[in-house]
């Protein structure tokens, strides 16, 4: 879970690749750098992430069987919400209990 700002969007094959500036990592099981590529397995603009927008994102690390692909993937069951100070407060409070 992290707060990120969408810098760019690009369609690659049947997927969408977003360049994301990681602003605040809240909870992560793998290291995040200040800029990451986040992949969405569709091209229908779902979820609707706009360039320049800030979001609270819950994505997964995806490593294929051959271990040749290691990426951040926002799946259908992932979480992408516009970031607000309220979201920040809710995530901080939840972190105390989890």
User: DSSP string of the chain?
Assistant: -EEEEEEEEEEETTEEEEEEEEEEE-S-SS---SEEEEEES-SS--S---TT-EEEEE-EEEE-TTS--EEEE--TTSEEEE--HHHHHHHHHHHHH-
pLDDT band at 91 (very low <50, low <70, confident <90, very high): confident
Convert the pLDDT of each residue in 27-73 to its tens digit. 767 788 899 999 999 988 788 899 999 999 988 888 777 766 788 89
The full set of domains in the chain, from first to last, is 2-96 (2.40.50.120)
Q: What is the pLDDT of residue 31?
A: 82
Q: What is the pLDDT of residue 95?
A: 66
Q: What is the pLDDT of residue 49?
A: 92
pTM for the full predicted model: 0.82
């Amino acid at each position: 879970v992290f707060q990120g700002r969408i810098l760019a969007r690009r369609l690659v094959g049947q997927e969408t690749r977003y360049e994301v500036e990681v602003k605040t990592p809240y909870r992560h099981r793998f290291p995040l750098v200040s800029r990451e590529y986040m992949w969405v397995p569709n091209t229908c603009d779902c979820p609707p992430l706009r360039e320049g927008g800030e979001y609270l994102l819950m994505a997964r690390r995806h490593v294929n069987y051959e271990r040749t692909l290691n990426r951040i993937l926002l799946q259908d069951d992932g979480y992408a919400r516009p970031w607000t100070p309220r979201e920040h407060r809710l995530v901080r409070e939840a972190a105390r209990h989890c």
